[in-house]
C-alpha cells in the first residue's frame, strides 16, 4: 500500500475503521479490528478526528502508552488541543 498509495482511497479506508470504532460497543475484538484498519492508513493520510478516536480506543483497550503518544501528537500539532488535553489528563502511564 505504501508503494502505490495513489491506487487506494485512503480516506475511505480510514473511514471504514473510524465507523467501526464508533459502532464497536466497546467490544475488544471490534475495537482491535477497527484500529488495525485505521493504523494501516494513519501514516499515509492524517485526520485529527480519527487520531482522537484511535487514542480513545487504545485507552479502552488498556494501551495507555499508545493513547498518550497519539494525544501528545495532536497537542504538538495544535489540533483538538482541549479534547486531547482532557483525555490525556485521565491517562496514567
Q: Is residue 39 part of a domain?
A: yes
- Backbone φ, ψ for residue 45 (5° rounding): -150, 110
Q: Is residue 93 part of a domain?
A: no
For the chain, the domain total comes to 1
pLDDT at residue number 8: 83
Q: Mind listing the pLDDT tens digit for each residue in 41-70?
A: 998 889 999 999 999 999 999 999 999 999
**Domain region containing 70:** 5-88
Q: Is residue 67 part of a domain?
A: yes
pLDDT above 80: residue 5: no
pLDDT above 80: residue 81: yes
**pTM for this prediction:** 0.91
Q: Is residue 22 part of a domain?
A: yes
By CB atoms closer than 10 A (0-12, 13-18, 19+), residue 26 is exposed
Amino acid at each position: 500500500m505504501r508503494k502505490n498509495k495513489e491506487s487506494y482511497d485512503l480516506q475511505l479506508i480510514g473511514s471504514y475503521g473510524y465507523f467501526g470504532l464508533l459502532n464497536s460497543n466497546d467490544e475488544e475484538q471490534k475495537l482491535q479490528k477497527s484500529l488495525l484498519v485505521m493504523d494501516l492508513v494513519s501514516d499515509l493520510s492524517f485526520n485529527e478526528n480519527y487520531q482522537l478516536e484511535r487514542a480513545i480506543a487504545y485507552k479502552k483497550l488498556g494501551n495507555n502508552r499508545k493513547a498518550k503518544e497519539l494525544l501528545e501528537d495532536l497537542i504538538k500539532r495544535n489540533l483538538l488541543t482541549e479534547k486531547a488535553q482532557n483525555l490525556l489528563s485521565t491517562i496514567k502511564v
